[in-house]
Structure 1
């Protein structure tokens, strides 16, 4: 699932950048800057996508809740809501994990 580039953390890129600078390897320095920018951009994209999915699930839940008064005995509708709530919870956990990673990287 992960390739070598995505498994590196911000600190790893910074360490490699410093090593390249100390060795006087300008091409390697530039490569590390590019990879670091891509890494940060990918992390932002992941968070954006997760938030969009979270909001979509939330809207679906609200839509189903609005149907409940019309179909108060609908077991199927209640199951859909429960499944969406579980999905929303999973997405929320992924968002928190990514935000913690981003905060950790920012504090490094």
Structure 2
């Protein structure tokens, strides 16, 4: 399978009112949120050796990173890139 690199130069497409496009955008935003969550888990090490760990500290940190990744998803470009790529694949399969 060869990847068409011309899709990276296309402007971001607006989402049609088509329910399939809306569902696809939700999925690509969720995928971007997952990528951001992994980056945040790696980069935000919130351990402080001066204070003992509280009960449930890891749960709160995970919830905090989840909320950050959900709020940032859709703004980094991975979602747009994946959406455009999948839409082009879908259009090529129709032809």
Q: Same fold (TM over 0.5)?
A: no
- More helix as a share of residues: 1
Place the TM-score, normalised by the shorter chain, in its bin.
0.3 to 0.5
- Point out the structure with max Rg over C-alpha: 1
Of structures 1 and 2, the one scoring higher in RCO (CA 8 A, sep 6+) is 2
Question: What TM-score do you get using the length of structure 2 for normalisation?
Answer: 0.35
Question: What TM-score do you get using the length of structure 1 for normalisation?
Answer: 0.31
